[in-house]
Amino acid sequence: MKTDFKAGQLVRSKLTKDIGRVIDVEPDYYGARQAFKVYGAERGQALRPSSVNGIGPTKDGIRDRVRVRWYTNYGPAIDDLRIFDTALYMDGLDLLLMEEEGEE
């Protein structure tokens, strides 16, 4: 299920466990709802564009692009990027919402 992010919400990165606040949301930025698929393919089989035999849902679906202002620095994964800016765009799939709607 897709999380609906809104500016001002507190989030945690699934990758580095850092905590930050949502600054901006670009809805439905990443992904697709469906894709061409090859059903019944065997391991090692060569696949060509003409091998497509169906259309099906994608694994991750549509996701938001979320700009987050990071307040903590737990993981080394994005340290190099912090040299330039502490507000980075993230895939909504990599974020956990820390506060539910209605909490202040």
For 64-79, what is each residue's pLDDT tens digit?
A: 788 888 887 765 555 5
Query: What is the per-residue pLDDT for 83?
Result: 42
Phi, psi (rounded to 5 degrees) for 51: -75, -15
User: Are 18 and 75 a contacting pair, CB within 8 Å?
Assistant: yes
pTM for the full predicted model = 0.58
